[in-house]
Amino acid sequence: MSSLERYDRQLRIEGWEQDLLYSTTAFIAGAGAIGCEVAKNLAMMGIGRLILVDYDYVELSNLSRQLLFRDADIGRGKAEVAAERLREINPQVKVDHHNSDIRDLEEDVYRDVDIVLSCLDNWGSRRWLNSVAVSLNKPLIDGGINGFYGNVQVVIPKRTACLECQSMQLIPREEKLAECTLKRRRPEDLVNDLREQGIDLSVELAEELFRLNIKTVYDLKYARLDLVLSHKEGEIFRAIEELRSKLMPKIPAIQSVASVVAGIITTHAIQLIHKDRLGKSPTGLIVYDALNSRLTRVKISRDPACIVCSENEAAPINFPFDLRQTVLRLKEAVASVFGFPDPEILHADRRLNDDDVLYDAGVRENDILYVSTKRLYEPVAIRIVT
């Protein structure tokens, strides 16, 4: 029996070249509702290699939307389980998996892929993956859902708008106000912030959180517990998980919408793999409104000053600032302008301390500083002007 018989119906499509799929490696970030569907689609179609990445574990609530998981898989790593199931679906496909954060992977993992598919559920990780794809010149397709609505964007580095081009319109308000996370704070400040959101927290527990460098509501929502805690047991872990459940209600999602969005992502991936021989994949943003059975294409233009994809993205950005101010004040200014909740400032070969006065630390007008953040793959160069 010919191995091609499996793909008989798709081979009947004019212009279809199965060899192009065989030779393609696709990177899928996120094994949730969309990621499971996209991975299943590509495996059934005969993609050569899939790389799945997800640091999360299977929960009961996943089973209504994520078809690669079963009751017996609860508690296991999503990426590992998904990889096993995909090999069952199509043994001809090579499937690798990483139960880790996408930021923890070696650069070679990304260099080896032909296309990047973002099926993530948070803007911070999407920004970072977008910057990796643009930096390494890999086409990216990003998709997300919220209840009966979904969206898809195709990013072709240097040709189309990237996610960062529209970041100031899409970044959540809490990241736009990220400079607040950098200010000098006391445990009482965290208690008061939570009280404003109707959540009571004891000063004693707030002090314990401060010892873990969790000082703001933003930190509570997004701090990686595997980095701040040596294990996932004990009162402090349970307290953080309970606070998170109150601060971040889960996004509503249904399988039917996830399937449609995943189908759009997969179709555009096939178009890119075929190098437009099956029609050109669209640019801009595709918005799916399931309640009104409507697909809308929103035009998105490249930002000529985009810190990720502009033609001069490597050129330093002029940044007006008083050299008599501290590094902490500079961090706050950078956070406000770029929406980075966690900027670090590097000068020459050293990282500047918050209490350093820029001039005393050796920084002079027109010096170039580098801003590192977990929102971007590479640091942003800024030139201090007064």
Average pLDDT value for residue range 141-161:
95
Q: Give pLDDT, residue 166.
A: 82
pLDDT grade for 31, boundaries at 50, 70 and 90: very high
Task: Provide the 8-state DSSP code for 315.
Answer: S
Comparing 329 with 1, which gets the higher pLDDT?
329
Domain 3-169+252-298 fold is Rossmann fold (3.40.50)
Residue 280 pLDDT exceeds 90: no
Average pLDDT value for residue range 268-289:
92
Residue 1 pLDDT exceeds 60: no
Q: Give pLDDT, residue 234.
A: 74
pLDDT digits (tens, 9 = 90+) for 182-232: 667 889 999 998 998 899 999 999 999 998 888 888 788 877 776 667 655
Residue 258 pLDDT exceeds 70: yes
Which ranges of 255-320 would DSSP assign to H, the alpha helix?
A: 255-273
Average pLDDT value for residue range 15-44:
97
Q: Give pLDDT, residue 182.
A: 66
pLDDT digits (tens, 9 = 90+) for 321-343: 999 999 999 998 998 888 888 89
Average pLDDT value for residue range 88-97:
97
pTM of the entire structure?
Answer: 0.88
Domains 3-169+252-298 and 317-385 share a fold: no
Here the tokens at position 269 are 């991936």
Taking the domains of the chain in order of start, what are their residue ranges? 3-169+252-298, 183-247, 317-385
Could you give the CA distance from residue 350 to residue 330 in angstroms, rounded to a whole number? Answer: 16
Could you give the CA distance from residue 303 to residue 200 in angstroms, rounded to a whole number? Answer: 43
Question: CB–CB of 284/153 below 8 Å?
Answer: yes
CATH number of 317-385: 3.10.290.20
**Dihedral class, residue 8 (left if φ above 0, else alpha if ψ from -120 to 50, else beta):** alpha
HSE value, Cβ hemisphere, 13 Å, CA-based, for 296: 11
Comparing 220 with 168, which gets the higher pLDDT?
220
Comparing 342 with 129, which gets the higher pLDDT?
129
pLDDT digits (tens, 9 = 90+) for 101-123: 999 999 999 999 999 999 998 88
Residue 296 pLDDT exceeds 70: yes
Q: Give pLDDT, residue 288.
A: 97
Could you give the CA distance from residue 153 to residue 143 in angstroms, rounded to a whole number? Answer: 7
Average pLDDT value for residue range 142-159:
95
Residue 310's contacts (CB-CB under 8 Å, 6 or more residues apart) are: 302, 303, 304
Handedness of CA 367, 372, 377, 382 (dihedral sign): negative
Q: Give pLDDT, residue 224.
A: 73
Question: CB–CB of 15/41 below 8 Å?
Answer: no
Residue 276 pLDDT exceeds 90: no
**Mean pLDDT of the chain, nearest integer:** 90
Residue 27 pLDDT exceeds 90: yes
- Amino acid identity of 334? V
